[in-house]
């Protein structure tokens, strides 16, 4: 059985974290980069889930730090819309998270992914899913 998969959708300015950075997390981490978090569409998040992700982290630049002014704000709204969609479908909205990450701060990102993983473990164990 493969590892639990977490997909990170992030702004390409946010970080350059690579596979080795996430080595400490017992999950399969996939990173998808976008020119700006404002380019991350609702459907991209949903498709990440369709592609077997158990959780999705949308990592955006800190407020007022978006290279494109408001791309991160846009992403914030889309994440919240997608969370409500997940709820409609019957998936826990907590499986989707938005993280404000200082630019190029890999440590912060890894930290968020760890948190995400813990939340996911929580969700899965509550459901009796012992993956």
Interface residues with other proteins (CB under 8 A) are 41-43, 46-47, 49-50, 85, 88-91
**Which residue, 41 or 105, is less far from other proteins as judged by CB?**
41
**Which residue, 29 or 53, is less far from other proteins as judged by CB?**
53
Least gap, CB of 43 to other proteins (angstroms): 4
* Helix/strand/coil percentages in the chain, nearest 5: 45, 20, 35
**Which residue, 12 or 47, is less far from other proteins as judged by CB?**
47
What does the alpha-carbon distance between residue 13 and residue 4 come to, in Å, rounded to a whole number? 26
For 12-65, give the DSSP string: TTT----GGGGTTSSSEEEEEEESSGGG--HHHHHHHHHTT-SEEEEEEEPTT-
Least gap, CB of 90 to other proteins (angstroms): 7
Least gap, CB of 111 to other proteins (angstroms): 28
């Amino acid at each position: 059985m493969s590892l639990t998969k977490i997909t990170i959708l992030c702004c390409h300015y946010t970080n350059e974290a690579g596979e080795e950075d996430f080595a400490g997390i017992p999950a399969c981490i996939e990173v998808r980069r976008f020119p700006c978090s404002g380019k991350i569409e609702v459907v991209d998040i949903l498709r990440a889930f369709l592609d077997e992700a158990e959780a999705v982290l949308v990592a955006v630049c800190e407020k007022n730090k978006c290279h494109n002014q408001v791309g991160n704000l846009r992403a914030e709204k889309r994440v919240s819309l997608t969370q409500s969609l997940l709820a409609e479908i019957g998936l826990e909205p907590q499986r989707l998270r938005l993280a404000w990450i200082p630019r190029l701060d890999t440590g912060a990102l890894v930290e968020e992914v760890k948190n995400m993983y813990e939340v996911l473990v929580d969700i899965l164990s509550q459901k009796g899913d012992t993956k």
